[in-house]
Structure 1
């Protein structure tokens, strides 16, 4: 895999016209090992690439594009380049609101769908409609077969034509696991039909499953592969169940329920949440996409290619339909049951869920009455998983790796309190329009919220923003917007310094309580006391006005200092001359102005935690600070080297562990 940073708009324009699949270009750079996941339960990019057969990333410093050579004119390259041209055509001629959806439905590329729309579809369990699957393949092959027969082509020749068409379509649509599965099953079906042989649907999916794993064993770990086979297998094995119901609407509802149940363990394991609205919405959206939007998208594209003036009104009508669908999905995603976080289930819970689902299908086929015990079992397991944190005697303190910023998660035993201290965030600089990324990274959406959901956390009892710096509260707006927060705690002496910040507007709209804390304030939860030691008074230096918390968790005392510097440390020691702590969260990412020798000598910590970005531009942590810590025999944990740092405890004892080895 090659990674290269485009530096100018002119270079971007030239490359968009010049680059195509199959070119071979000389380049200079360095080989790097792909990055592992730096936070608990997050996406492991290194493992993903390894399973794709990629073990190195080549970071190119320069590429000699003028020396590029053609890699040949194979049919494979021609099809892949045709796919790129098709995507470019849709993006140029279709409105922005619908071009991403049409691209996904025809070419299997979801990258151009608006980020907000895609999130809504994911939350509602509708995202499978945007992935090419058996629905699309059945429609295409059915239409082609019908047209061929109507124009006088024999059935045998049409079957041969479809057998030739399906591999081409597989490549045109991106060859994702769901596409490969559905095309392979269709090819097997037509091949046997051509030779007048019959095969059961169960045997067809089983044969396809084994054949794909034989050639690509690592496909087993692909989420799309897992969902595609689980849902398709459940439809095949339970066909007699939904066919028992005479009404088509009831059949569709039962089918939707079965599909959602089949996907349930996989969705919980990978995404930690499910949508209860998904069952009902699929009853509406599946026919809408299969009968209207998919055919309409293909027809609009073909007519616009042949007769642009006739195709434009169709494209406008199609765009209007997509806009309505997306507005409805956006409204539905705000409803209470749109998305419910259950947390990542342990192995035993996964096993019991799968057994219960199989038992449900086997007994429901005979009689719905006999299946009720399995329905009850599934409900009990889901309720148990939903409330797992309430029964857990374990607590946790986690320094989340948010890059060059701070974010600390505190989970008290038996769900007696979930606190997040700072949200991380990035300092943004003005950039040209051409350089704006299609998907912007956001600490809350990409790191913190998935972590909270994986832990089965449904609400943050306190969101503590230590001081108004972007690397500490830059993602607060997104977090409050997309996750339930009971109370926001801010440092300083009034809300005035936060008044113009975007998160305040969202907090007021959602009626989130806001509290200003200063020295002397405290609260007690789950047997633990949280004392505010700073700010003392209104400081000119924002860092020294950070909220400083002292608490005892898991048998050790903690001092969490925000971005406090040396001046703040001196004031802290003057006010609390007997202050000591076992664990110190080092102030200001380990900059030279923090963790002075007198402060460490007084505090006598056993371990120091530094939240700092890998290869950051500031040179944090400073060598003098590391020297001071090691000189006092203090164990140092750093997020740039260790990833997230987790202290899990039971009653008065606990242990540290690192995400990175």
Structure 2
């Protein structure tokens, strides 16, 4: 058997993945049984002693991952919900300081919470909204708010807890006051200071926009990167050049090695010196996961060269994977780790097969084939994490990668030269500036092309496994066209079968928009409805919560956008997204009581050719098997404020009825009780305020389930306890977005299934 290191790594990966599903005991038993039997079979076939190690490698990975997760959870020892006032003392481990914000990672040696002293060594990310002078090893004394790391509260939301746990951070802390006790500089501080000098010089020899790009590309620091540039590069498929990737390290390593050879340094000393300089560069740039992988593989390549051994890229990749995942098995769930390893594997395995489709072979064909291979191999991961894929990134890479061989070494050289002379630095970096201008022109051109991105939504992990299994089979049976044909036919058959078997349910999502309302409805005939969009003066709810949710669920259009009333916490999100997604109809209450936000939404609807429908009681929408009836307001409703004309909508699907109540209060409920009928699901009026949910109203509705949409630590005290008690008196099951995150209801018209984004509390 060839490449034992690759086989070891695959078994190690299997062990880590099995640990992530350790709640399914039957699957674990079957998987480990298969591994043990397969080991026996291959040992008898090949008589290689190392084969007997395979189950032990898998078991070790399984227990190592479990142990890491257990230790991680044990570090989260403080029993508080979301946040608590605290005082912390700790030692600075790393930091990033900008003009008006400082982020400092400390290892705590004392934490005071509610008068109690704790002496647990925890890693805490400290943020302070000012520029502070700090160095490594300094002692930090800070007062402020300690935050527990959060799981995603909505589809498409960022997994803060996983992201920081991968980086061995246990809590976040926002400092109101901070005191720094300076200590002697460490050796690592000299590298940090050197990086700050380079950052400062790049800002002096380049315009701000270009300086931010070069600092991200060469130093791994994105704090100065313009957000519009980041978005532009992402949409054009160029985002990968804004991180220190394997390509950057390869270019840098080759440049250093070639330069040393030209200076008549012996080959062995040149290789050894290159390894040392790349290790220093790794420390200088913050040691990202993809950079660690690239430096490790380059080190293996140069070491093999020194000792006269053959370099095998797949074995080196497996070796690097072993090193990183033993260091921290949670790296497996980092998108940078996954993209870095899958891209290299795809380029290595697929490029020769793609080249076979071309009659001639030259550098351009190889570059094109490698770009196609990287695109094919990374597309499922990009779709999984970003919910859309750039369609022209193959073309983009063909245009930009050749120039990277000039840009990266020259940018680093110019940064180093600028330390001695800013004038020479400006002269030498001129070509870099023009290359960056060319990159931006290419990005803007690609972005403006039709269909430049394709919305995929988040694919199910099963489809991703199937995708890579098909590629693996195609490669394995590369010389057997018959089997390849069967694999292709079988794939098409499976896709069609799953599409036919896809159930047609009604889905209702109560999106967590903080202190506000937003409900997304997907009907059984695949029509999309949104009722309200949340809103906040502190956050762009539409951009940061609604659009990621819609992309995650592959929603390309909104058929009906309902606005219940024009309070900020219901309308702002709709104003933000109506420019970003196709909307067919905007449905609003018929009223003359309007505010500037209402007028702004109507103006945007007109600009985007969205038809506006005004409705009152008894107006109705029939959408397939789904019926939406307006129960309020009536024609003669007296209006003194926004809540007085809030829409009340009855959503009926076969035997299931959902009542959406906006922000109605006691006066509106009193009108409704005269004609409203029972509903199994009730969106609690006005976020659970004591001005709503009267006993007469609940008596008329008789809800089995009540959904409250409120914000964590909202200043209104929603939901009020007396309202909660009133619902409990009707044996109503209560869900609250503040506690449960987004709430999803799925029904076939008879039965209901309700799930929450966050784990339910007992």
Same fold (TM over 0.5): yes
2:683 to 585, 588, 596: 585
1:421 to 503, 507, 531: 531
Match of 1:434 in 2: none
Shift of 1:258: 1.1
1:637 to 735, 750, 761: 735
2-side partners of 1:150 and 1:477: how far apart?
61
Shift of 1:643: 1.2
1-side partners of 2:564 and 2:599: how far apart?
14
Using the TM superposition, name which of 42-51 and 650-659 deviates more.
42-51
1:184-223 per-position Cα deviation (integer Å, ceiling 9, x unaligned): 0111111121222222222221222222222222211111
Match runs of 1:365-384 below 5 Å:
366=479
Shift of 1:326: 3.0
2:703 is aligned with 1:605: yes
Greater relative CO (CA pairs within 8 A, separation 6+): 1
Match runs of 1:257-406 below 5 Å:
257-288=372-403, 290-312=404-426, 318-319=432-433, 321-323=435-437, 325-363=439-477, 366=479, 391-406=502-517
2:649/2:659 contact within 8 Å kept: yes
2-side partners of 1:396 and 1:60: how far apart?
42
1-side partners of 2:716 and 2:386: how far apart?
35
1:86 to 195, 198, 208: 198
Match of 1:196 in 2: 308
1:395/1:411 contact within 8 Å kept: yes
Match of 2:330 in 1: 218
Shift of 1:90: 3.1
1:353/1:381 contact within 8 Å kept: no
Shift of 1:655: 1.8
- C-alpha distance 157-313 of structure 1, shift in aligned 2 (>3 A): closer
2-side partners of 1:291 and 1:39: how far apart?
41
1:97/1:319 contact within 8 Å kept: no
Shift of 1:86: 2.9
Partner SS, residue 559 of structure 1: strand
2-side partners of 1:514 and 1:355: how far apart?
48
RMSD: 3.3
2:159 is aligned with 1:47: no
- C-alpha distance 110-522 of structure 1, shift in aligned 2 (>3 A): same
Partner SS, residue 579 of structure 2: helix
1-side partners of 2:207 and 2:387: how far apart?
34
- C-alpha distance 205-61 of structure 1, shift in aligned 2 (>3 A): same
Shift of 1:480: 2.5
Match runs of 1:551-562 below 5 Å:
551-553=651-653, 555-562=655-662
Partner SS, residue 311 of structure 2: coil
1:453-501 per-position Cα deviation (integer Å, ceiling 9, x unaligned): 2223222212222222221121224322333323222233369756875
1:536 to 623, 631, 634: 634
1:25 to 135, 140, 145: 140
Match of 2:558 in 1: 460
2-side partners of 1:361 and 1:29: how far apart?
56
2-side partners of 1:483 and 1:203: how far apart?
46
Where structure 2 has 5 or more consecutive residues not aligned to the other structure, the ranges are 1-75, 77-84, 89-98, 103-127
2:152 is aligned with 1:37: yes
2:744 to 646, 658, 661: 646
Match of 2:115 in 1: none
2:366 is aligned with 1:251: yes
Partner SS, residue 409 of structure 1: strand
2:510 is aligned with 1:410: no
2:536/2:569 contact within 8 Å kept: yes
1-side partners of 2:186 and 2:505: how far apart?
59
Match of 1:436 in 2: none
1-side partners of 2:101 and 2:447: how far apart?
40
Match of 2:721 in 1: 623
Shift of 1:373: 6.5
2:69 is aligned with 1:69: no
1:619-640 per-position Cα deviation (integer Å, ceiling 9, x unaligned): 2122332233223332221111
- C-alpha distance 592-266 of structure 1, shift in aligned 2 (>3 A): same
Partner SS, residue 486 of structure 1: strand
2-side partners of 1:168 and 1:10: how far apart?
29
Shift of 1:503: 4.7
Partner SS, residue 284 of structure 1: helix
Give the TM-score normalised by the residue count of structure 2.
Answer: 0.76
Shift of 1:616: 0.9
Match of 2:619 in 1: 521
Match of 1:432 in 2: none
2:136/2:186 contact within 8 Å kept: no
Give the TM-score normalised by the residue count of structure 1.
Answer: 0.87
1-side partners of 2:584 and 2:502: how far apart?
21
Shift of 1:331: 4.9
Shift of 1:101: 1.0
Where structure 1 has 5 or more consecutive residues not aligned to the other structure, the ranges are 429-440
Runs of 4+ in 1 over 6 A off after TM superposition: 1-5, 9-14, 367-370, 375-385
Shift of 1:328: 4.2
1:510-569 per-position Cα deviation (integer Å, ceiling 9, x unaligned): 333333233232111121110112233572311222222111237321111112222222
- C-alpha distance 299-554 of structure 1, shift in aligned 2 (>3 A): farther
1:34-87 per-position Cα deviation (integer Å, ceiling 9, x unaligned): 22222245332223333333334455554333xx132x5333333234334433
Match of 1:144 in 2: 256
Aligned length: 636
Shift of 1:105: 0.7
2-side partners of 1:11 and 1:291: how far apart?
34
1-side partners of 2:86 and 2:247: how far apart?
35
Match of 2:26 in 1: none
